[in-house]
Amino acid sequence: MPVSNQAEKARILPVSTLCSPVRPPTARKKRVYHFIGLFLIAVVVVNHCQLTRFNSLIKNCKEFLFSNDYNHNNEKLCSQYDVLVPKNPLWKTVGEGIGTEEFKGRAVDWLAGAIQVPTESYDNLGPIGEDPRWETFKQFHEYLFKAFPLVHSTLSLTKVNTYGLLYEWKGTDPSLKPVLLAAHQDVVPVEPRTAADWTYPPYSGHFDGTRIWGRGASDDKSGLIGLMSAIEVLLEGDFKPERTFVLAFGCDEEASSRFGAQQLAKAMLGIYGRNAFAFIVDEGGDISEHYGTVFATPGVTEKGYLDLRIDVTSPGGHSSIPPKHTTIGILSRLLVEFENNPFPVEMSTDSVFYETLQCYAGYGTTMPSDLRKAIVRSVYSKKALKRLGDILFENPANVALVGTTQAIDLIQGGVKSNALPEQAYAVVNHRISTRSTVSEVIKHDTDMLKSLASEFNLTFISFGETISDVHAPSAYGSLVLSDAFMINNSLAPAPITPTFGHRARPYELLSGTIQATYNSHRGLELESHHVVVAPGMPTGNTDTRRYWDLSDGQILRYNHRNSLAFKDVAGGMHTVDENLPVEAFLEMIWFFTTLILNSDESRNL
């Protein structure tokens, strides 16, 4: 049969193929020998890899990664944003004023006066208007009004739930998203039995020429007063912002913020709407030295939170005829189970702490070589990642940054020495890893106590769910797990604020502001990197736990508290002898001034 034209075309070879030159036999042999040689080399390499488990094979090839030159080629591990200096000439003028003795005196008076009002908050505070312990906040508001006249004559003030303070500094350009700056008015109570242990009375606000002493000096009246001072000074310079700034000052941050920040959040959602703010800044990370280098570590996330209450009941009676286990005995055994079974912790490359470590390795000048190698190698080696965890988790502080923690903080039971206790309870405080959830923690605790509930013949109920139902009269008693304060106070880990990419502009602005403040306050070259900014994570929670809906994941926990200024004297945060060096406070005021000016000038937030 005739062949089709299409088939004929398929059989015709291109002219270029027909006319291509034929290689001489010697060239072919050379190619064959070359191929055989490469093949043999590959076989040797593969066998060597198998014998040395590959990691040993590439050790020498990658040794340069761990040389001193690489260790300090820091951009590979922890890139830094540019220093951001405000363009407004008022910035330099304010800075010069902050450096004078006259301004130092004003700053001391501002903070000392705030400390002298004991705005203590307690876990058991009753509603505002019913509990008289709230009355000191009224005095504090009166103090702020007198201390900062320009703030109160320029900014609008709304009092939320009586003692929550919401200021608005209206900008001239409504197209710019506002910025939310937060702090809290309250302080942790001073234990009366420790009052005599203070170097100076806890609410004296004493200034010794170097330090300002008293409860709240460090946490967080310095942040609140530092922010108010910065705005007062800017107003004295006739500064009018284009961007709106909102100040939110809660009144019970130290007691889970139910009456303060929670109500402020509702008010701001009603006024501004969801995700209305370009970013939020609250207290958090600080400036400190690690491995011979100065680091600033703004918090970009927070751990979750759960106060677990454990209630045990059993029959009462006279203690002269005791049972094998009393209610307190059973509860004690349950608590021993907690302490014998801490939550497992492992190093992970997707944790914020790991990012912090990368910066330490990139810039730390005195970091031990084995730790630096473990950090760098952990990027591509699971074995090195585990080794890194083994090194770091010998320190409980590092465990607290990464894993879920548990602390037995409260216990109560019994009313008389000769009466069997019918009830006893304890509270276990959990700080939940950013890689876990509230439900995972509840499940962990529930599963851990199942066998003991059975051993003691207890009806077991966990957060409303019956785990084991032992009916009376066969049940000896009951075991109930619940939220400690019956107010659903548990908290999921916070979203992580972006630190790179197009959504990291607030972090970039904060980073540049930190560096500009640090350099200018010390008279250093402005454009140079004298402080390294690394993502961090506070171990506690701030009022921002209530503000997640106000900004699209842009929450930065940082108020430029310079821990380096303390040197040999501890800050005493939450304990005896809380204080703040005046130089650290002046630098905080300078930071807030720089932050406001930089935020106002930015157009890419």
In a domain, 401, yes or no: yes
**Range(s) of the domain holding residue 460:** 304-483
Residues of the chain with pLDDT under 50: 1-25, 45-46, 48-73
pLDDT of the residue at 486: 62
SS (H, E, C) 220-271: CHHHHHHHHHHHHHHHHCCCCCCCCEEEEEECCHHHCCCCCHHHHHHHHHHH
Catalytic site positions: 186, 253
The string of DSSP letters for 530-589 reads -SEE--B--SS--GGGG-GGGBTS-EEEEEEEEGGGGTTS---TTSTT-EEEHHHHHHHH
pLDDT of the residue at 562: 87
Strand extents, DSSP E, 349-507: 405-413, 419-420, 423-432, 458-462, 465-468, 477-483
pLDDT of the residue at 371: 93
pLDDT of the residue at 574: 83
In a domain, 78, yes or no: no
User: What is the token pair recorded at 413?
Assistant: 């039971």
In a domain, 16, yes or no: no
pLDDT of the residue at 468: 87
Of 189, 190, 184, give the one whose Cα is nearest residue 258. Answer: 184
Asked whether residue 421 falls in the same domain as residue 509, the answer is: no
pLDDT of the residue at 45: 47
Asked whether residue 444 falls in the same domain as residue 520, the answer is: no
Query: pTM for the whole thing?
Result: 0.85
In a domain, 27, yes or no: no
pLDDT of the residue at 554: 98
Asked whether residue 197 falls in the same domain as residue 111, the answer is: yes
Domain end, chosen from 483, 507, 538, is at 483
In a domain, 30, yes or no: no
In a domain, 579, yes or no: yes
CA 354 to chain centre: 13
pLDDT of the residue at 418: 94
Residues 30-65: pLDDT tens digits?
555 566 665 666 555 445 444 444 444 344 334 334
pLDDT of the residue at 56: 40
pLDDT of the residue at 563: 83
Q: Is 167 helix (H, G, I), strand (E, B) or coil?
A: strand
Asked whether residue 285 falls in the same domain as residue 428, the answer is: no
Q: Does 254 show up as a binding residue in the annotation? A: yes
Residue with tokens 């109160």: 152
pLDDT of the residue at 234: 98
Asked whether residue 289 falls in the same domain as residue 320, the answer is: no
In a domain, 34, yes or no: no
Q: Does 282 show up as a binding residue in the annotation? A: yes
Asked whether residue 226 falls in the same domain as residue 345, the answer is: no
Asked whether residue 147 falls in the same domain as residue 296, the answer is: yes
Domain end, chosen from 459, 483, 507, is at 483
Half-sphere exposure in the Cβ direction for 308 (13 Å, CA) = 29
Residues 286-310: pLDDT tens digits?
999 999 999 999 999 999 999 999 9
pLDDT of the residue at 66: 41
Q: Does 444 show up as a binding residue in the annotation? A: no
Domain count, the chain: 2
To the nearest 10°, report the CA torsion of 537, 540, 543, 547: 50
Asked whether residue 249 falls in the same domain as residue 352, the answer is: no
**Cβ neighbours of residue 102 closer than 8 Å, sequence gap 6 or more:** none
In a domain, 214, yes or no: yes
Asked whether residue 437 falls in the same domain as residue 519, the answer is: no
pLDDT of the residue at 103: 97
Domain end, chosen from 483, 507, 533, is at 483
pLDDT of the residue at 475: 81
Asked whether residue 316 falls in the same domain as residue 343, the answer is: yes
Asked whether residue 286 falls in the same domain as residue 320, the answer is: no
Provide the CATH number for the domain around residue 458: 3.30.70.360
Residues 310, 463: contact at Cβ < 8 Å?
no
Asked whether residue 138 falls in the same domain as residue 203, the answer is: yes
Q: Does 219 show up as a binding residue in the annotation? A: yes
pLDDT of the residue at 8: 37
Provide the CATH number for the domain around residue 185: 3.40.630.10
